[in-house]
Structure 1
Amino acid sequence: MVALLSPSQTPLNGRSSAVRVDEIKTQIHQEILALMDWQRMESMSPERLRAELKTLTENLIGTHNLAVNETEKRLIIQAIQDEMLGLGPIEPLLSDPTVSDILVNGPFQVFAERRGKIMPTDIQFDNDAHLLRVIDRIVSRIGRRVDEMSPMVDARLPDGSRVNAVIPPLSIDGPLLSIRRFAVVPFTVQDLIKAGAFTVGMAELIQGLVKARVNLLVSGGTGSGKTTLLNVMSSSIPADERIITIEDAAELQLQQPHVVRLESRPANIEGKGEISQRDLLRNSLRMRPDRIIMGEVRGSEVLDMLQAMNSGHDGSMTTIHANSPRDALTRLEHMLGMAGLKAESRAMRQQISAALSVVIQVSRLSDGQRKVTSLQEITGLEGDVISMQEIFAFQQTGLDPNGAVQGQFVASGIRPKFAQRLSTRGIALSDNFFEPTHRWS
C-alpha cells in the first residue's frame, strides 16, 4: 500500500464485472476516506496527490480482486481523483468547453447548457450529503459558508465561474447548485463577431465608445451575456489607465496591467462584518481610479456609481438586469430611491441622464443565441422624461426550419451626439456609418 494508508485496512467485498463503475467508485471512495492520512494529504501538491490517489485506487482494485477491465479502471481512477480533488460527478462538465451553465436540481437531476440550450445529463450524486460536500468544498475555498443559518450563498470557482447554492430548508427537494461558467481564455471581440453577437462595424463603434471614455450601461436579462460583453468592452481600455473593478462575486477577467479587483463580503454568522458594493465603491474613490467598472448594479450603490461617473471618472461601466434600455433607466431610478435619495423624480432622472451616455441592450434569443439587440444614446431630459435615441438595432425577421433566429443589424439613420466626441478623440468613422444603407459587416 502507498503511504496514504493507515496501518489498519477494512476488506472490500469483491464485485463482478456486471457491477456499475459508479458503484465500485463509491465503495472504493468510502474506504479511501476511512484510511486516508489527512495531515499528509494537506501537505501534498495537487499533482502529487493525484498520483497517490491513482496508485492507491489501483492497489485497492487489485487487493480486492475487483473484476474490471482497463477502461473501467481508468474511469474509476478518474472518478476518485475528481471526487477528492475536484467537484465530483460534475467535474467532466467543468472540463467541457461547450458547457456554459451547470444546473443541479438535487442529487439526482443535473442539467447542462450548451450553445444556449439546457439539456438533461445522466450525471448523478450519491445522495444529498454527497452534493452538500461538493457545495461546501466550493464555498469554503473563498472563506464563505452555507448552513441552516445561511442557506443561500454566492461564490466562485478558481477559474472565475459564478456559483450559487441553496440548501434545505429553503430548497424543498434537496440542495441546489448553479454554476455559470466562464472561459479560461476570455472571449475577444472576434469571438463575439464570429458568434453573431454583433457585426464588425458595431464592434468598431463600441470599441470607439470605450476609448473615448463614454459612460456605458449594459442591460440585459439573466444569462444574456452582460458580463461577457463587459469583459470584451474592457479590452479596449488603454493599458496606461488604472482600473478598479467592484463585484459581489469576482467574475471580470480584465487583461490590462493596472487592475485593482475588489469583492464584497457577506456578514458573518453573528451578522457582522458585511462589506457591500457601496462600501467598496466609496472606498475606491480614494484609490485614484481612472475608471470604475462595477460588475452589476443592484441597489443603493447606484447613487455612488452615478456620482462617480459625474465627477471625473469618465469611461466607467456597469451592467443591470433589465429587458430594454428604457426599463434599465426606470430600474436605476427605483434604485436611487432605495439608496435613500430624497429628491423629485425629475432630479433623479437629471442625475441619470448626466451620468450615462449610452445603453447597450443584450438579449438571449429563442434559439439560444446572444446578441446586442439595441444601442441607444441618452440625449438629456425633455420635460420630465429622459430622452433616448436608438442608433442601431437587431431586427428579427423569422426562424429557419431548424428554429434558428434570422434577422439583421440595421442603423436607424440618426447621427448620435457622441459622434463628435469620438472624432475629437481621434476615432474616425465613415460619413455614412450611421446611415440605414450602411452595411453593418
Structure 2
Amino acid sequence: MKQNVNVIHCSSGRCDRCSERAGESCQKLRELGENPDCSVLLLESNSGLIHFNIAGSPIPNQPPWVSDRWETVFIGQDDDLFSELDFVAGAYCVGPYLSLFSKQSGDYQVRYTSLPIVRTSLELALLNQLVNENRIFFKNSGNSREKLTEQQTRLMLEISEYIKKHIPEINENTRTRLSQIAAHQRNVLGPLFPLLMDESIEEIYLDRPRSTIYFDHQELGRCNTSFTYNEKDVSRIITFMRSESNLHLDRSNPSLKMDLDVLGNRLRLSASVPPLSLEGVHLEIRRARRKPFTLYDLIDNDTITYEASAILLLAIASRLNITITGGPGTGKTTLLNALDMTTPRIWRKIYVEDAIESRLLMDHHQVKLQVDPVDESHRKLSKSDEIIKCLHRSPDYLILGEIQTIEHSKALFQAIAAGLKSVQTCHSNSASNLISRWIWGHGIERSNLAMMDLIVTLERPIPGQSLRRVSEIVEIRRGKENGLQTFLGTNTIYDGEELGDWADDGAFMIHARNAGIENLDDVMNALISSLQNQGNYANLETLSEILWSYGHPMKFTG
C-alpha cells in the first residue's frame, strides 16, 4: 500500500476560475502524474464528491468531469469528513469500498473510515432502500444452516435481480456493486466487511459492547474506527458464531475459537462471554492472507534477514525438529507457513491444528486433521491423541500448529522421541523462557528436551506497530551419559543481527557429522548467495529439492 496521497480541493466552479487550468488539463495533476508512487484525492465538498484515481493506473491529466479514468464516491454535501481528508495517510479500494486512513500531526493514532462506493445521491438513496427494505422483497432461503458465504452469494443474486427488474436502466457493473454492499449490510458483520476483505488487515478487535472497533494494519500498525456494536448486535454475533461453528458459547463454556470463510477470506474468530469476560462479549478476528507471505516476502518486509533465512531453510530441508516461539501477534504462524512452502513436494506432511492456519499447496502431499479447541469443554477430538496417532500415519514431517497445554507438550516430545520430525509454534518471549516453561511448567524431562533441534524467536518490538522480526535462533546442545541422551543447554547461532558459531555438540553439527560433513560454512554461504539471487530460485520448494539432489541438504555447494 506504500503510497503518497495528495489531496486537491476543487472550487464550486470546478476549472472555470482555477489558476491550475491548462486547457482541458490540470497543471497540478500533470505534475503529480510524474510520480509513479503518488495517488490523488480530488474533493468537491459543496457537491459531496470524492474522486480518486483508479489503482494501478497513472494519474490522469484531466479532472473527473473530463476524463473517465477516475472513481467517484458521493458522501453528501459539505460532509464533516471533508475536513479530515487533508490528513490522509492512505487510500485504496477494497471491493466495493474506499478505505481511507488519516493521521493528524502530533496524533499517534491512525483513524480509519470506509465508504461504500456510491457515485451519486440517487445511488445512495437506492442503496439505503435496498438495505432498509430488503426483508420485504427478498425471499428467505428457508435454510437455517445456510453458511455465511452461501447466504451472501444468494442475497447478492436476489438483490441484483430486483434492481434489474425494477430499474432496468442501471448497468450490470453498478448493479453488482450495489447488490454486494446491500448484501454485506444485511449481515451482523456488515460494518466489518471492508476490513474482512482487505489483504492488509491482520487482526480486528472488539473489547466490549459499545466500545469502538480497532485493528492492526500490516503497514500502518494499529488503527481506530468509529463504529461499534451494541448489546443487541453482540447477541446476534454470538448466535451467528454458534450457528457457524456448531460449538458452545455460553456461561458453561464462555470462550470459543472457530474458523470462518467469508467470500474466500479465511478468518479465525475468538470470543469470550460472561462470566469470563466481565464487561460483555469480547471478540478478536484474525485474518489470513489469500496469498500467504513467502520467505522472500518476509525478507522484503524486514521480518527476517538472508542469513537467518538460510539457517531456517537448511533446518527445514534437513527435517530438524523446530519450534517457533514468540508473543501473541509476532508472526509465528506466518513464518511457519512460509517455511512449509519451501519443503520438497514429494514429502508427506500431516497437520494437526485446532484452527486451520496452514495452507493447501499445489502438488504437495498434505493431510490436514482438525481437533477441537482447548477452550471447548465438550471436545471429543484431542490434539494430544492425534499427535500420538501420527506415529502410525507415516509422515515425513509433522506440522502441529500451536502447542498450548501440558498434554500437548508431552505428546510432542513423545512423538519426536519415537522418531517423528515436527515443526510447531508455542508462546514465549525467548528460547530460555520456553525451555523453563517446558521443564518447570509442563514437566518435560531434560533428556527429552535434547531431542528438540532448533528454537526460533520472533518479537514485535513496538506494541501496536506492524514490524515483526526474528530476534534469535538457538540450537539445542546435547550429549550422552551412560548411553542416555542429555540436554546440555543452547547455542545462539543468530542473535537478530549476526550469525554465531556452530557448537560442536549442537543440533546442526550433530546432524552434519551424521551426514559425513565436518564444515557447514560452505553450505551456508551457498544458501545465502542463492537466496540473494532470487531469480535463480524464485520457487524455494525447487531449491529445497535441489538441496536433496546433493545426497543431503548439508552437502549443497550452490
Alignment TM class, shorter chain as reference: 0.7 to 0.9
Cα displacement (A) at 1:286: 2.2
Q: Specify the SS of the correspondent of 1:92.
A: helix
**Contact 2:257/2:271 (CA < 8 Å) preserved in 1?**
yes
User: What's the counterpart of residue 442 of structure 2?
Assistant: 336
The answer to whether 1:322 aligns with 2:428 is yes
| Structure 2: unaligned runs, 5 residues or longer | 1-120, 168-173, 533-558
Coordinate RMSD, CA, aligned? 3.9
Partner amino acid, structure 1, of 2:192: I
Partner amino acid, structure 1, of 2:472: S
User: What's the counterpart of residue 391 of structure 2?
Assistant: 285
User: What's the counterpart of residue 137 of structure 1?
Assistant: 240
- From 197, 202, 213, the equivalent of 1:100 is 202
Could you report, residue by residue, the CA deviation over 1:358-387 in whole angstroms, capped at 9, with x for unpaired residues?
111111111431111001111026999741
Alpha-carbon distance change, 22 to 139 in structure 1, aligned in 2, over 3 angstroms: farther
Partner amino acid, structure 2, of 1:349: R
- From 222, 226, 237, the equivalent of 1:122 is 226
**Contact 1:241/1:291 (CA < 8 Å) preserved in 2?**
yes
Q: Which of the pair has more CA radius of gyration?
A: 2
**Contact 2:270/2:283 (CA < 8 Å) preserved in 1?**
yes
**Contact 2:202/2:286 (CA < 8 Å) preserved in 1?**
yes
**Contact 1:138/1:157 (CA < 8 Å) preserved in 2?**
no
Percent of matched pairs sharing the same residue: 25
In the TM superposition, 1:133-282 aligns within 5 A as 133-158=236-261, 159-255=265-361, 257-265=364-372, 272-282=378-388
Cα displacement (A) at 1:107: 4.5
Report the Cα distance in structure 1 between the residues aligned to 2:436 and 2:127, rounded to whole angstroms.
52
- From 452, 459, 466, the equivalent of 1:363 is 459
Alpha-carbon distance change, 139 to 188 in structure 1, aligned in 2, over 3 angstroms: farther
Report the Cα distance in structure 1 between the residues aligned to 2:188 and 2:476, rounded to whole angstroms.
47
Partner amino acid, structure 2, of 1:252: S
Partner amino acid, structure 2, of 1:412: G
The answer to whether 1:410 aligns with 2:498 is yes
**Contact 2:493/2:501 (CA < 8 Å) preserved in 1?**
yes
- From 390, 405, 419, the equivalent of 1:312 is 419
Partner amino acid, structure 2, of 1:304: A
Could you report, residue by residue, the CA deviation over 1:98-131 in whole angstroms, capped at 9, with x for unpaired residues?
1111112324511011137222112333x32223
Alpha-carbon distance change, 425 to 28 in structure 1, aligned in 2, over 3 angstroms: farther
Cα displacement (A) at 1:413: 3.7
Cα displacement (A) at 1:29: 5.4
Q: Specify the SS of the correspondent of 2:381.
A: coil
Cα displacement (A) at 1:411: 1.6
User: What's the counterpart of residue 391 of structure 1?
Assistant: 493
Report the Cα distance in structure 1 between the residues aligned to 2:178 and 2:277, rounded to whole angstroms.
31
Aligned residues: 385
Q: Specify the SS of the correspondent of 2:369.
A: strand
User: What's the counterpart of residue 28 of structure 1?
Assistant: 133
**Contact 1:289/1:313 (CA < 8 Å) preserved in 2?**
yes
Partner amino acid, structure 1, of 2:470: V
Q: Specify the SS of the correspondent of 1:259.
A: strand
**Contact 2:205/2:214 (CA < 8 Å) preserved in 1?**
yes
TM-score after normalising by structure 1: 0.75
User: What's the counterpart of residue 189 of structure 2?
Assistant: 87
User: What's the counterpart of residue 421 of structure 1?
Assistant: 511
Q: Which has the higher contact order (CA 8 A, sep 6+)?
A: 1
| Structure 1: unaligned runs, 5 residues or longer | 1-15, 63-71, 342-347, 395-408
Partner amino acid, structure 1, of 2:493: I
Where is the strand percentage greater, Structure 1 or Structure 2? 2
Partner amino acid, structure 2, of 1:27: N
**Contact 1:377/1:389 (CA < 8 Å) preserved in 2?**
yes
